Structures are given as C-alpha cells and as structure tokens.
Amino acid sequence: MDKNAGFRALIRIAPAPPGPYCNTMTQQLTFTVKPNLPPRLAPLAALAQDFWISWHFDAIRLFMRFGNDLWTRTNQTPVRLLAEAPQEQLDELAQDASFLAHMDRVYENYRAYRDASPWYRGARDAVVAYFSMEFGLDVTLPIYSGGLGVLSGDHLKSCSDLGLPVVGVGLLYRTGYFRQHVTMEGQQQESYPANDFFNLPLTLCSGSDGAAVQVAVELGHERAFAQVWQAQVGRVTLYLLDTDIAANDPAARRITTQLYVSDRRERLRQELLLGIGGIRALRALKVPFAVTHMNEGHSAFLGLERIRSLMGEHGLAFAEARQAVWSTSVFTTHTPVPAGNESFDDHLVLDQASALRAELGLSEDQFLALGRSGHDAGHGNFGLTPLALRLAAYCNGVSALHGQVSRRMWNGLWPGVPADEVPIRHITNGVHARSWISHDIQDLLERYLGSPDEKFGPEVSVWEQVDNIADEELWHTHERRRERMIWFARQRVVAQLRREHASERDVQAAEVALRPDALTIGFARRFAGYKRAGLLFRRPERLVRLLSDPERPVQILMAGKAHPNDHQGKEMIRHIIQFVGDHDLRSRLVFLDDYDISVARYLVAGCDLWLNTPRRPHEASGTSGMKAAVNGSLVLSTLDGWWDEAFGPDIGWAIGTGDSYADEEIQDEIEADAAFAELEQNVIPLFYDRGIDGLPRAWIAKMRRSMKRVGQRFSAQRMVAEYHRMFYAPALAQAARLAGSGWGDAIELARYLARLEQHWPGTAVERLSSNSPPTLRVGERLEVTADVRLGDLTADEVQVSLFYGTLCVNDAGADAIVGGECAAMDLVEQDSETATYHTEVVCHTTGRLGATVRITPTHPALAHQLIPGLFRQG
C-alpha cells in the first residue's frame, strides 16, 4: 500500500520568491499536505489545533499513545504527529475501542470547556488586545526566550479559563530565540533551526476571497508586508505576524526571523512591526478591540498607531486622539534593569518611524519628546518605556516591591508628584497552575480538590483542602516526581555527552549521576548578571563540602541560557562546568543545556528546594519559584520580586534581610554567606530529620503550607482577574463612553488639558492655616484653611485637596509625608485673585503628622488626576 495513499495534496506552481531562502532561477512546486484522518478520528484534528491540550494532561496522554518514538521525534507537536503518523496506524486506531473511548472522553471535556459559562459573564462586543514580544505557550511553539514569554502564555491561558474578552498579538519568528548547546569545556554555542509553521498548531488568516490577510508597515524608506497567523488558546485567539513572504525584499523578510535580534536597527523594526502592524492586523481582521495592553515596552508604538488611526478616521487632532488612546491603554513594565527598558538612538527612530511621525503631524522634537525619560534631557535616546507610560492611563509593575521601584524609577515623568503616588500600581504575577503542576501532583490534588478546571479560578480557597492530604501520600508522590526528573536529567546529559563525542566512561557515569533519594536543589533561569547564578560558587570550599557529604547528600540541577551577546553570562556557565570537572562533582552537580518549557516542567516538579539568588531589587517578580511551590518544592531566595511579599519562615527560607547595598560586591559577599548559613543550619537538617517511618514530617508540613499559600495568592487566574477589575473593566467602560460620544469627550478633555497647561503656571498655594491646637488626640479633628491662587482658571476646573499623613525624614534629610491621604477641600469664597478652601479631617494615627495642600486637574473623562506637569503641592 502506498504510504501516501489517501492524502490530500494542495499544489500550486509559482515563481520562487526572491531572497536567501530559494533559488530565483527555477520554478517551484509548493505543497500543502494534510493527513487523511479516518472520519472516526476527526476530533484529533480539532484537538491538535488548540493549545488547550498543553494544560490538560489527559489530552497529551492521548497523543502519546501513538508511541514514544513518534511523540519525541515530532517534538511533542500533535499537528506534526498526525502528519507523520503512518496511514496504517491511523486506520488501526480508528478501530481501537480503548483509544476511541479515550479520544471521546478528551474531546467531550474539550467541548465542555469551550461551551461552558466561564467566570466572566460580561459583554463581548469589545475586547482587550494583549501585545507581547514573546509568547511561551508550549515547547511546540518556540517563540519565547524566558520569563516574559512564559508569563504571556500563562496570561492568555488564564484569560481563556476565566472567559475574559482578550486576544493576543505577537510576532511569529522563523527561528525563535536560539537552541543552546554547551560543550564539555563549558562553552555555550547557539543554533537557530527554522520552524515549520505548517506543522505547528497555526492557521494562516485569510479574507473572504480566500487570500491570506496581509498588512503593510512603512519602515524608513521601504514598506514591509506581514501575513497573519492564528493560534487557538482555548477560548482566546493569538494573532502572530510574519514577514517571511514573497511580497517583501530580503531585508524585510528577515524582520521576523529571530527573537531579540542583537542589531539595534533590526530590533527597532521588529518593535515597529509589532506595535503598528499588530494594530493594523486587528483592524484588517475586524477584531473589535477597544483596549490595548502593552506587556512591556516593546509594543509601545501601538499607541501612536492608534492615535494616527483616530486622526485619520475621525478627524481628531493629535492631542484629542491621544486622550482617547491614553484612557483605553494598559502598560505593564517587567524590569527595573536598564537593558530591559528598550531605548534607541534618536536618528534611528526618526529614520525608521518617519512615515508615522509625518502622519501624526509632529515635529522631530515633539516626536522624540514622547520617548524622553524625564530624569534628564535624555538627548540621543528614545525610550519605549517612557513612551508607553505617557500613552497609558493604567500602568503597573509585577510585584509589590517592583511597583515601589518603578514609581521611584520613573518619578521624573511626573514632576512634583511624591514617588509613592506616581500612578504606577502593581499586580503581582502568578502562574497558570494547570500548566505547571505535574500530572502526579495534579492527580493527587484532583482527588482532594476536585476538577482543576472548576477549582483553579480566581477564588482559590479550595487550596485549603491540601491539609486533607496524608503526609505519606504527599511525600511519596513528590518522591516519584524527583525520580522521574532524575531519569530525565540523566537521559539529557547522556545525549549531551554523546553529541560531544565523550568517552564511554563519561557516558556510563552520567547514566547513574544524581541520587534519587538525595536533597535536590534546582536553579534554572536566564544567566543574566543580576540573577547571580554564581553566588554559591563564591564559597568553593563550602560548596564542595556540602555536595560531598555522604551522610546527608545534596545535589544541584542547573539550567539556563545566556544571551548570545552576554559574555558575562556565558563565562558563568563555563566557570560552573569547569568547577564541576575540577572538583569531580559530575554526579552531584549537573547542568542541563537548552533550557526550555519542557526542561522547566521537570525541574519545578521534581526538585526539593528551589534556589533563587537575584540581587535585590533587580528581580521584578520571577515566577519559577511559584511553579516549584505549587508542586510542593520549597523556596530559598533573596527577598526580591514576588518572594518579598510571599516569604514567611513557615513556608520557606530567605537569603539575607532584604537590605540593598550601594556596593554590589559587599552585597554578594554577605548574601553568599547567608545562603550557606540557611542551607547548612536550616534546610539540610530539616530535610534529613526523619522519624521511624522515614518521613520528614516537619519538611512535609512546610511543603503543605507553601502549596496552600502560593496556590491561593500567586495564581495567574487571580492575576488576570485583578487586571480585569483594576484596568480592563474601567478601560472598556471608557472606550464605550468615548465612542458613544462620537469622541466628543476626548475632544473636550484635550481642550481642557490644553487650557490647564497654558494657565497652570499661574496657580499657587499662597497660605495654609489651622485653628486646631498643635497637639491633638486620636479622634479629634484637624481644621485647615488654604488660600489658593487659580490665575485664569476657575474653581470647577481644578481639585484642591488636603494631603496629610505621617512625617518621615526623606533621603535629602527633610520632612516628607509618607503614605498620606487626600481629602477634598470645600470652596468657601473666591475673589478675583484668591480662592479660599476649608476642610476638617479626623486624626486616626499617632506620631508626627504633616499636612499640605495640592492642586490637580479634575474632569469626568480622566482615568486619574495625576497628569504629568499638572500637579501643584504646598
């Protein structure tokens, strides 16, 4: 029987497109071949096209039944698996009662998920468009590099679970990030294998005429075209732009070749394509988006494209359209590290965005001013984070600590506003539990918690039921995960060694490396300098002693990539590999190369202790520790990012006291000693404190408390529910209001703010007085009167408030109100020069208190009152 019999082939003949990917002198046959599934197996095709299966292990099990060899060879990609499965096997499975029953059960669950009434029951006629440079949905679609992409993937999955009206927008990279290969000497090598989009769960978007949807973006003096692919993520759709098409010249085709390309011009072109092209793609596809969410500054140009579109379609001036976009935009900043906040040379920006600037009607100085940091003149650099902050009313960091750091970092954009009141809030990151909890732990939890599809929502009190799991059952389940992780690590290292043509002796040693019963520490993340992968290696004697103890064995599994241009990160990987060889620790310290989602799933599920060592306060959030914790691993980390608000001595351990040091070398020295002190005095003794039954019951009690607390407080469902409540819902309401007024509210608001900007220099607080005694008791009233000069403004155009609270000495040595409250003041009288205001507030705290008066804008169309340049205090 012909193995291709029954396959359907779609054939077209066309001249080969120009560029490096083909021979322009020949005719080319292009085939699109799809599997000839027996009708009874039709549900497999639908399941294979939806990333829903990536967080439902019973669905993954279904495709694994095709055989481990085929599953592995096709990179765990169901679409490709179906394409490569022998026709004989498909025909046999169509008659296999056991397989069919499994398939029907999975498909029924899938349909029930898609059809069920989700948590969100609101309107769906307007959606939020979530833009990100990378999306980490599953190992099968390698268009992510690390934490930002994985967070984006978890965001979409959780929006799907809750039924939020969200679509995703990103770029489809031909080679993604890079594959990492580490030599036996520790040298990181990079390779860039191409993705075959037609063997991925992607669908090319087409119009009513059947032709592929394309959008064009002007980049410098050329026009780049992009086609749009669609990925289904449960109830959510992700749209991805791809420039590798015949309509483009070779330079434009390369734009979407590689994630985080090093060349600054190419990086800027990617980000222009994402922001401008992404908006144009949504419009071409008639997606009814009303709000945009910029996940990091990479997509910040979308705000300017939205302004351009409103100007052209509705005849609005730039300032008017800007107010409409500002009121309906969300921006999440993910890092305080300068390298993570993209900036570009002014001349490069003006060259590549020249068409956009011209259509906006802005001078070069006006355009560049949108990307200035506010801390200094900033001449020469255009920042995407300042641009996003200026164009979004709803801004946030990704942990409580990161929110504080971001408010201080970007305080200069809001001159005069106290740092703790800068309108950058925080929504702490979370993880999509169903994607990261191992199937062993998941099966255990389902017996006690019920179906995760029903229970792992924003209301997560169900985690309290972890208390009902017996110690023996929880521990033995965890031990199985550790054993499976060690088996995986051994296989991975053996493959690495064989690739490097290592000796058979080394291969045999790797086959028995690591002990399945030893305390196993996991450290896996990007090898950036501030993450300090080498912290423990600062004390080599203590590390060797810890890893060589035969009585209380300890072992470490490490993984992570260094950016191709990060020579410091590459050197750290080389140092670790050489350290292992020099001290004969190959059986106790293993480095796994090519860190990706698949490796991460094994590590977070199987390690006993998750180690995290970022230099505070550079880690914005971090989520790997959350993934480990919900699997039952305990966390040892510096008090940075999410751990700063999660830590308690009853659930884990902290490295240091949360202090920040001006001298990084001193900080590293102190915290290296602190890490070893925790390991030697607390972690290791607790793990090996066993009863007569062999169980570490105190450790298990800590596991249980950690699972409960992290599962409840750090779920991605809780995270996206907060985004909806704090940002999406009010922004969607603003969008409806603005569109319903024919954009009249935006026009009125722009005129109002222009009037305030013109006359704001004439405002001042001239006198502040009080009839209250200098000493008050709790419960007594503070009475304050203020004389305010409004200049040419009227009393109903501004808000005059009393700002009061506890006095503390600031960094400059002066008294400052910290964590204060605002109370609106009542207008008492007004003459041509001065307006008099009065209020009374109840004193409810003790200590040294201060009070001052502030003047801010007030308008019903404002999302908030803290507008840059329109703030007066004292």
**465 has pLDDT over 60:** yes
Report CA-CA distances (Å) from 746 to 235, 325, 752. 33, 9, 10
**220 has pLDDT over 70:** yes
In our burial notation (b when 16+ CB lie closer than 10 A, e otherwise), range 143-156 reads bbbbbbbbbbbbbb
- Residue ranges of alpha helices (H) inside 129-180 are 147-162
Of 249, 100, 234, 85, whose CA–CA distance to 166 is shortest?
Answer: 234
Please state, in angstroms and rounded to a whole number, the distance separating the CA atoms of residues 510 and 494: 6
Please report which helix (H) or strand (E) contains residue 260, including its range: none
Report CA-CA distances (Å) from 114 to 107, 121, 168, 568. 10, 14, 18, 47
Mean pLDDT, residues 561-567: 94
What distance lies between CA 752 and its chain's CA centroid?
Answer: 36
Whether 181 and 499 have beta carbons less than 8 Å apart is answered as yes
Q: Of the ranges 23-37, 313-327, 509-523, 540-554, which one carries the lowest mean pLDDT score?
A: 23-37
Please state, in angstroms and rounded to a whole number, the distance separating the CA atoms of residues 455 and 437: 14
Please state, in angstroms and rounded to a whole number, the distance separating the CA atoms of residues 507 and 493: 8
The confidence band for 375, taking pLDDT boundaries of 50, 70 and 90, is: low
At 257, list the tokens.
């070749």
Q: How many CA atoms lie within 13 A of 836 on its CB side?
A: 8
The confidence band for 811, taking pLDDT boundaries of 50, 70 and 90, is: low
Mean pLDDT, residues 258-262: 94
Cβ-based burial of 99 (10 A; exposed 0-12, middle 13-18, buried ≥19):
middle
Residue 780 pLDDT: 87
> pLDDT tens digits, residue range 101-138?
999 999 999 999 999 988 998 989 999 999 999 999 99
Whether 594 and 179 have beta carbons less than 8 Å apart is answered as yes
Q: What stretches of 248-341 adopt beta strand conformation (E)?
A: 289-295, 329-332
484 phi and psi angles, rounded to 5 deg: -65, -40
Please state, in angstroms and rounded to a whole number, the distance separating the CA atoms of residues 122 and 162: 11
Mean pLDDT, residues 203-215: 94
pLDDT above 90 coverage of the chain, percent: 83
Average confidence score pLDDT of the chain: 92
Mean pLDDT, residues 137-152: 95
From the CB of residue 542, how many other CB atoms can be counted at a distance below 10 Å? 17
The confidence band for 24, taking pLDDT boundaries of 50, 70 and 90, is: very low
Mean pLDDT, residues 358-369: 97
CA angle at 102 for the pair 100 and 104, rounded to the nearest 5°:
65
Pairing type for strands 289-295 and 236-242 reads unpaired
> pLDDT tens digits, residue range 303-358?
999 999 999 999 999 999 999 999 999 999 999 987 789 999 999 999 999 999 99
**């029954």: which residue's tokens?**
6
Mean pLDDT, residues 446-454: 65
Prior bond of 250 cis (ω within 30°): no
Residue 774 pLDDT: 84
Residue 776 pLDDT: 84
Within the chain, how many helices (H) and strands (E) appear?
A: 33, 30
C-alpha Rg value of the chain to the nearest Å: 29
Mean pLDDT, residues 767-776: 87
User: For the chain, what percentages of helix, strand and coil (3-state, to nearest 5) are there?
Assistant: 45, 20, 35
At 581, list the tokens.
């060889």
Whether 372 and 436 have beta carbons less than 8 Å apart is answered as no
Please state, in angstroms and rounded to a whole number, the distance separating the CA atoms of residues 614 and 312: 47
**17 has pLDDT over 70:** no
What distance lies between CA 191 and its chain's CA centroid?
Answer: 25
The confidence band for 806, taking pLDDT boundaries of 50, 70 and 90, is: confident
- Residue ranges of alpha helices (H) inside 450-558 are 452-455, 471-499, 504-511, 540-547
Cβ-based burial of 208 (10 A; exposed 0-12, middle 13-18, buried ≥19):
exposed
**6 has pLDDT over 80:** no
Residue 31 pLDDT: 67
Q: Of the ranges 46-50, 117-121, 156-160, 224-228, which one carries the lowest mean pLDDT score?
A: 117-121
